[in-house]
Structure 1
Amino acid sequence: MGGGECRSNDYGAAAYWDARYSSPSPSSTATTGGGGGGGAFFDWYQAYPALRPLLRARLPASSRVLMLGCGNSLLSEDMVKDGYEEVVNVDISSVVIEQMREKHMDVRDMSLFGDGTFDCVLDKGTLDAMMCGDDAPLGASKMLAEVARILRPGGIYMLITYGCPKERVQLLYQAGSHKKIELYIMPTPGYQLKWSKGVSLAQPIMEEVSLTVDGQLPPDYVLKDPESHFIYICKKPDAANEANSVVANEGETITSK
């Protein structure tokens, strides 16, 4: 799933993932490429060490975190080992859930969870998979509406995706409650940034990029790695801030009459 495009409609189907997770895997651990079958651990896109600086900066260890489409990633386990106290995993595949012993759930309907019950929802590739489903983008919109519902006021939805702002920002705003979106860009794990002096860095470098007023990349911005991952931090407004915003808007309306 590179470049934000959908390469297979199967990615949105539970049957595809059940078959994938049931198949033998030649490797027990991986961070990119195909794999993850037969109970082997597999991390899509980025592993915890690369994401840790951003997670630790944004999420206190006491945060209640929902891992959306957990698959058989080690991300949740690594977070718990690093001090996070409550990480809940859900996935559409009953096979991988049996392997991981977590919750089987379709992310388009998370009615098992009450409103405002999570401080953070982490999504590493699940929205990308939903955009490949037969009902995309409707299924993706349903998922994002559920994310907005279960987040507490002030909570964040952290999306790690191949989708550039042109392909994702409008969809995120349509969810209704994500009023503030920040963007970070990170090269793929296998990519090395090469400096003019010939020095290369093996570690991924996360770069914060300011979106334009219409939610797009700056016109002069050039991706260092064409297959970079986009990390969106979408913050749900605090209840008090939302109320103040409504009052301010009403005041502006009255004044303009």
Structure 2
Amino acid sequence: MFRILSIRVIASYPHFTLREQNGVRAYSEIRQRVRTQRRFRQHVNPLAGHFKSMRASPNWNDLQDLSLPIHLDIGCARGEYLMQIAKAYETKLNFIGVEIRQNVVQYAQSIASQFDLTNLIFVHANINYQLHTILENMPNKLQSISIFHPDPWLKRSHHKRRVITPEFADALAEYLDPTIPIYVQTDVLDLSNSMHSVFMDSNRYVTSLMQENAFSIASDREKYVLKVGGSIYRTRYNVIKKDNKDYKSQAYWNERFECEESYDWLASYHNVGEELGRYIDESDRILMVGCGNSTFSADLYKAGYKNITNLDFSQIVIDRMREKHAKCAPEMEWICGDMTKLTDTFDANTFDVVVDKAAMDAIMVDVADSWNPPEANISQAAAMCTSIHKALKETGVFIQISFAQPHFRKRFLMGDDLERSTNVYSWTFDYHPIGTMFLIAQWQYSLTIVLDTDVGLGYFMYVMKKTSVA
């Protein structure tokens, strides 16, 4: 304990108050905004000529440790939130805040300097025109990007001023590695849908929804919106490799898993856990095929399903996940193997449930014409379904979560001969809708469309129940 001899407020702004205690600066949170806070113009037209021609000049030397990976925040405003995060990650990440309003950047820099934040710089730039300048000259690897609560420009005539445009999405895709996440967050549903459409229409990105803020630190805006009963729409985007065949490559995944901590394709356990519970008992032996570094099986384990075996063809990710969960989920198994040859690794009739979350999707990434898939893809899908059928017990259940539309995925789950009165794998089907359910009787399978308010992006859950050996 020490006695505070004097406390002198030397700078304040929302969420932080900087005080001097016995000559030592300290941080403390404040809940009320300071009324004397400096005011700034809220909107500037990014399409104005002088904003198009401005030059971005990041002063990289202001970062103390240039060896740290970099997080880029686009539209940082006064930077209060970025300062909180920079403080929390000061030994792990460097942060770059980009803002189009020069006086706002100057203000943010002055406050950051008082906090001695040596892992944070602010850049005056129009990101839609200076993106290449910033990304090409970074002193180290870019780790992630955030675009939190960008200006919604609500008037239809102003939509062209929004930061995420088709040109921006295409330009960004040219620079980014698929392992670099783009975290997008807003409390305006129309803007969220608009940004999502831009990314998806480019055909260069994959997406997944997020329950929590990427940094697990809520901004003042988030706190306020949630307090008054509003919603925060959070989405993560990753660039798709130009050559989609890489997603079928073991070498690609080994390289990716070496540097990526975790990633959940499609829905998380939170989105589908209730529906899964209708088909899975806690005593069931469960196999997760193509587990990757997803948190799905760990969340399933926390929910009470302890008898889980995780399978992936990357030894690197299996070793990392085994080590990561050794203490928190000691009963889970991690095995390197081929999901199209499960009986090479397991005895027949071993599992009560097999779960595939986007594993078959990876097999299909190089299908150019969904109506007429190549024979090679049909054969791979057939090998996977046959393998799963053999690994399942006589009354086992195969659950698949996929972005594939039913009219494209049906042939792979049923077998290629769609004219048969019974399906190739002798699956029988049951269904429980989440939100809206479509059942096409002649397909003879259950389709649950996941319309959770946190998902809602066209993912589907297919449920196949085994009744006999194929």
TM-score w.r.t. length of structure 1 = 0.69
Q: Show the 5 A alignment for 1:1-257.
A: 8-23=244-259, 37=260, 40-101=261-322, 102-110=334-342, 111-132=344-365, 135-174=376-415, 176-182=424-430, 206-214=435-443, 227-237=457-467
CA gap of 1:127–1:148, structure 2 versus 1, over 3 A, is: same
Where do 4+ consecutive residues of structure 1 move more than 6 Å?
223-226
- Name the Cα RMSD after superposition: 3.2
In the superposition, relative to structure 1, how do residues 70 and 216 fare at CA in structure 2: closer, same or farther (>3 Å)?
A: closer
Q: Is the partner of 2:293 in helix, strand or coil?
A: coil
Q: Distance in 2 between matches of 1:214 and 1:74?
A: 32
Q: Which fold has the larger relative contact order, with Cα–Cα distance below 8 Å and residues 6 or more apart in sequence?
A: 1
Is contact 1:178-1:234 (8 Å) kept? no
Shift of 1:65: 0.3
Return closer, same or farther for 1:67/1:164 CA change in 2, 3 Å cut-off.
same
SS at match of 2:411: helix
Give 1:56 shift.
1.1
Distance 1:132 1:61 in 2: 33
Q: CA deviation at 1:61?
A: 0.4
Q: Distance in 1 between matches of 2:357 and 2:442?
A: 26
Query: 1:90-114: CA deviations, max 9, x gaps?
Result: 0011221121122111111112111
Residue of structure 2 in register with 1:202 after alignment: none
Give the C-alpha shift of residue 176 in structure 1: 2.8
Contact 1:183 1:231 in 2 (8 A): no
Q: CA deviation at 1:217?
A: 11
- Counterpart Cα distance in 1 of 2:312 and 2:245: 18
**Structure-2 separation of matches of 1:162 and 1:75:** 16
Judging changes above 3 Å, is the alpha-carbon distance between structure 1 residues 20 and 53 closer, same or farther for their aligned structure 2 residues?
same
Distance 1:131 1:181, change over 3 A: farther
- Higher alpha-carbon Rg: 2
- 1:155-213 Cα shifts (integer Å, max 9, x gaps): 1110001111211112111183242245677xxxxxxxxxxxxxxxxxxx543321232
Q: TM-score if structure 2 supplies the norm length?
A: 0.39
Q: How far, CA to CA, are the matches of 1:78 and 1:217 in structure 2? A: 25
Which residue is equivalent to 1:248? Answer: none
The 8 Å contact of residues 428 and 445 in structure 2, kept in 1 or not, is answered as no
Tell me the distance in 1 between the aligned counterparts of 2:408 and 2:456. 15
**1:87 and 1:133, CA in 2 relative to 1: closer, same or farther beyond 3 A?**
farther
Deviations 1:218-253 (A, max 9, x none): 9xx9x99984101100110157xx9xxxxxxxxxxx
**What is the CA–CA distance in structure 2 between the aligned matches of 1:217 and 1:236, rounded to whole Å?**
13
The residue identity in structure 2 corresponding to 1:209 is: F
Task: Structure 2: give runs of 5+ residues left out of the alignment.
Answer: 1-204, 208-240, 323-333, 368-375, 416-422
Q: In structure 1, what is the Cα distance between the partners aligned to 2:353 and 2:403?
A: 20
State the SS of the aligned residue for 2:282: coil
8 Å contact kept, 1:184–1:209: no
